[in-house]
Amino acid sequence: MYNKGTIIPGLIIFIAFVTFPVWFNGLTTAGDLPKPELPPGGEKECVMPADYMRANHMQLLNEWRDNVLRDGNREILEIGGKKYPKGLQMACMQCHSVKEKFCDSCHTYAAVTPYCWDCHLTPKDAKSKEATH
């Protein structure tokens, strides 16, 4: 083999680069799985089944945002005898009241930063705002 001095370090760098996630995670430590807190009020029903919500909630929220803000359609949904106005604070956060314990747990794990909070206030923020005014 010729030019061992450059080719072997080159290959080692290549392998280190490809296997980056293995040694970054420290070989066998998978870290903690997120545990989103269920509604503190004990509600069991959501607007859709849990499986659907887990996979599609972002699309549902986006649709609601478009309905309400772009089309002016503020129709109130009635599901299982319960009324849900279309809105993050008006519907979702009524039951899932603590953003830090519910939304953030999975979003941090999956490194997702939804821009909901560019406009919306979490219930906690809303309280502190009220206090200052």
Partner 1 sequence: MKYAFSFLAVLALVLIAWLGSQIPGMQYLFGVAIPYLAIMIFLGGFVYRVVQWAKSPVPFSIPTTCGQGKSLDFIKQDKLDCPTKTSEVVARMFLEIFAFRSLFRNTKSELHEGPKITHESSRWLWIAALLFHYSFLVIAIRHMRLFLNPVPEWLQFLDFLDSGAMLQIGSPLLYASSLGLLGGVAFLFGRRLVNRNVRYISLANDYFPLFLIFAIAVTGMLMRYILRTDIDIISIKELLVGLVTLSPVINVKIGSIFYIHVFLVSALLVYFPFSKLMHAGGVFMSPTRNMANDSREKRHINPWNDPTIKPHSYAGYEDDFREFMVEAGLPVEKELPPKKDEE
Residue placing its CB nearer to partner 1 in the complex, 79 or 112: 112
**Of these, 72, 75, 115, 133, which contacts partner 1 (CB under 8 A)?**
115
Residue pair 40/99 in contact (Cβ under 8 Å)? The answer is no
Residue pair 93/85 in contact (Cβ under 8 Å)? The answer is no
Q: Site for partner 1 (CB under 8 A): how many residues?
A: 41
Rounded alpha-carbon distances, angstroms, from residue 47 to 71, 87, 102, 122, 128: 21, 12, 17, 20, 29
Residue holding tokens 């392998």? 15
Return the DSSP state at 117. Answer: G
**Of these, 61, 68, 90, 121, which contacts partner 1 (CB under 8 A)?**
61
Closest CB 23 distance from partner 1, rounded Å: 9
**Alpha carbons 88 and 94: distance in angstroms, whole number:** 9
Tally of helices (H runs) and strands (E runs) in the chain: 6, 2
Name the one range near partner 1 by CB under 8 A: 80-88, 92-100, 101-109, 124-132.
Answer: 101-109
Residue 2 sits in the site that holds partner 1 (CB under 8 A): yes
Q: Write out the two tokens for 42.
A: 């004990």
**Of these, 38, 76, 112, 126, which contacts partner 1 (CB under 8 A)?**
112
**Binding site residues, partner 1, CB under 8 A:** 1-4, 7, 10-11, 14-15, 18-22, 24-31, 33-34, 51, 54-56, 58-59, 61-62, 106, 108-115
